[in-house]
Structure 1
């Protein structure tokens, strides 16, 4: 079904769907990976894509065409002597010609609902361009040092210190304290 915009332009009806990776068919996963590769100007690595898998995806469809993707996966973050079950947001992207229509906000609302129901906190690494969007949604920029628990031990990740955001829930957080993420191949944050 189509609807007409105020300027007479025809738009397809949009639909937000959420599903676990295991419940998505290969065509949907292929479409999501292609969309993210386009959104990130070809800079989506195999590791970047792998980081999006194994959790809940929020997908925005216009008819049979995928125009938005985001996912939340489980990770462990260490803070204040605790290993916190964290809903980590990955692969947030909307096709360039479909931006500024509320798609990213709708996807994040769906994922924040998952985070509230299943995790101690939410976390993500934001680009400079997206930082204001996340802050407006209640995500807080981590102000303390960041590190990663690597096979060689805890290693500082200074280059990530200004891009990590958290979605605080019931667990008390000291935003100026140390935050350490679990290990994974590719970008650790």
Structure 2
């Protein structure tokens, strides 16, 4: 199944009410972040990253929970069940595993910017677990998809991976700055 079919099958368009509600939330957060930047309690890059994280998570929760059509209660409590099927040669499940991994990579990339420095990968993983668990529990409660431990694992690893990528970028930037400072002082 390709990505377009998955989107068409599971996701409906946002209603005007949902767009208005989320838009108002973004507006309030924007005003708050602007105030924090003006007070110098946040750097502009942090404020922009927080805003982007909220926007991203709004789209993620919308597409994985709120705009999905209601379905019968579904859950899979066996850990690594998707890998067992993927190893048997099911390419659709392998694509789902990859998409679940990639889902929270952007959230992980933004974390070091939000916290203005490197973030330990285990915290990236923990934040990924928290986000993904909330998605999965809402899917279970609202009957909007299947609760799966595997999804939580894959999403969390993706968030941690995104965090590691940005941490490396921060370290590379810091090492270039140190080299530049050394050249300037000599």
Same fold (TM over 0.5): no
Bigger relative contact order (CA 8 A; separation at least 6): 2
TM-score relative to the length of structure 1? 0.26
- Compare the two structures and name the one with the higher strand fraction: 1
TM-score relative to the length of structure 2? 0.26
Larger radius of gyration: 2
- Compare the two structures and name the one with the higher helix fraction: 2
